[in-house]
Structure 1
Amino acid sequence: MRVIRNILAAVSFVLTAFFFVFFIYTLTQPDMRTGKIIGIIMFLVFIICGFLLRVPSKKSVEAKERMESLGILATVPLKHVEGLPLAENSHCMVSVAEDKVIIEGGGTDFNIGVSQIRAAEIKTDVEIANIVHSSAAKGIAGGLLFGPIGLVVGSRAMNKEKKTYSYYLVINYTNSAGELAVVMFESGTDPFVAKKITSKLKPLIINNPKQTVQL
């Protein structure tokens, strides 16, 4: 039954594409008013049918059930930059639950309690470069801490020829020794991936105490 429904869904999406092209064609033909109406109606009918018929894969269903059981609010793939005993550019799954941030990478799960987190921000490499170039060369600016590799990221941005932004998720937290620490991930050129994390995490940490750093 699953296979049949997915085949019908695929056919519906193909017909959706056909009627979309047909509708675009009618826009170039002033005398095809009826064709325009038919095209847009059939486009809507088949796209709705496609989504209704499509059956999620067993893997996606299991992943959704796991997220619900753990109370996960959002999960995204990001590349590790620093802060964990993982190589730079290691692929990680970063998730936000109501009581913790879960980082899966290198066959290990790392947890940071929400109560430990002091800040969660998205910064571009150019913004980090400006911090490196400023008087805050130690990596502290506006209460946000960057680690040594974070400063290297800024240096790379200052030296690269093509000015395209790379986005980074920076989380400051108090570690088990009571010290301010940083974990940092790369989101690539798409900030919206990392924003899925900050949009869920910031409301959870809004009342967390601020960290004071003695320079």
Structure 2
Amino acid sequence: MTGALIAIGALFFLLFLLIFLIVISIKGRQKAKKQMKENKISAQVLLHHVEGLPLSEKTQCQVSVTDTGLVINGGGTDFKIDATQIRATEVKTDTEIANIVKSSAAKGIAGGLLFGPIGLVVGARATSKEKKTNTYYLIINYTNVAGDLTALMFDGGNSPFGAQKIVNKLKPIIIDNPKQTVQL
């Protein structure tokens, strides 16, 4: 009888603990949604920095799309890019980047121009024929404060969903940006 009471007590304790954790989780999500709404954030994803910011490679960054542009928090620093500065954004796989680099007559130059120095590294990683999964990269082309066209690259891992979420929210706010001519 005492064993049955202990078992029932343990069952009620576990049930109470489960309900408590569910309530905490729901409140945490509600708080995060409220904070996103207050900051006018339409999408927010954690990605790893590859190229384009004064951060080391693989630094985890919180990439957020606001109604005015892009905010990247990484390494204890906030980086902001106004929507009017953003020229293009897309998600590419390492295989796609490697194919672009391979198909160019001047492979090294193309990799460097299209994706920066990391384009060569990404292209080299994707050449293995045994590879069965892709790595997805978020690429953002923008005009910096000096007026130069430059790029950011983030590693989205084996799933395109986080990076694509950023692209889907950015494209509507940059569609009317004026064209820019760059003298090469």
Fold similarity call, TM over 0.5: yes
- Cα distance in 2 for partners of 1:211, 1:154 equals 28
CA contact (8 A) 1:169 1:186 kept: yes
List aligned pairs for 1:129-168, cutoff 5 A: 129-135=98-104, 137=107, 138-139=109-110, 145-159=114-128, 161-168=130-137
Q: Say if 2:69 is the partner of 1:90.
A: no
The one of the two structures with greater contact order (alpha-carbon pairs below 8 A, sep at least 6) is: 2
Identical positions, percent = 58
Q: TM-score with structure 1 length normalisation?
A: 0.69
The structural deviation recorded for 1:167 is: 0.5
Whichever residue aligns with residue 103 of structure 1, its letter is I
Two-structure CA RMSD over aligned residues (Å): 2.5
- Between the aligned partners of 1:109 and 1:69, the Cα distance in structure 2 is 17
Residue 60 (structure 1) shift:
3.4
Query: Alpha-carbon deviation of 1:62?
Result: 3.3
1:87 match: secondary structure: coil
Deviations 1:125-163 (A, max 9, x none): 0110011112263347xxx93111123111211146324
What is the deviation of 1:196?
A: 0.8
Does the CA-based 8 Å contact 2:50-2:153 persist in structure 1?
A: yes
TM-score normalised over the length of structure 2: 0.80
* 1:78 paired residue number: 47
2:121 is aligned with what amino acid? V
The answer for the alignment partner of 1:116 in structure 2 is: 85
1:62 equivalenced with 2:31 (yes/no): yes
Quick check: which has more Rg, 1 or 2? 1
Checking the alignment, whether the CA contact within 8 Å between 1:82 and 1:150 is kept in structure 2 is no
CA-CA distance at 1:80 after TM superposition: 0.5
Residue aligning to 2:74: 105
Report the alpha carbon displacement of residue 188 of structure 1 after superposing the two structures with TM: 0.8
**Alpha-carbon shift at residue 73 of structure 1 (Å):** 0.3
8 Å contact from structure 2 (residues 116, 151) kept in 1: yes
Gaps of 5+ in 2: 1-14
- Residue 15 (structure 2) pairs with residue 7 (structure 1): no
* Counterpart secondary structure, 2:181: coil
Q: Could you tell me how far 1:6 is from its partner in structure 2?
A: 6.1
Judge conservation of contact 2:89–2:167 (CA < 8 Å) in 1: yes
Secondary structure in 1 matching 2:96 = helix
Alignment length, in residue pairs? 167
Q: How far apart in 1 are the matches of 2:18 and 2:51?
A: 42
Match of 1:22 in 2: none
Residue matched to 2:3: none
Matched, 1:189 2:158: yes
Give, in whole Å, the separation in 1 of the partners of 2:125 and 2:171.
Answer: 28
2:169 to 168, 180, 200: 200
Is 1:177 the counterpart of 2:146? The answer is yes
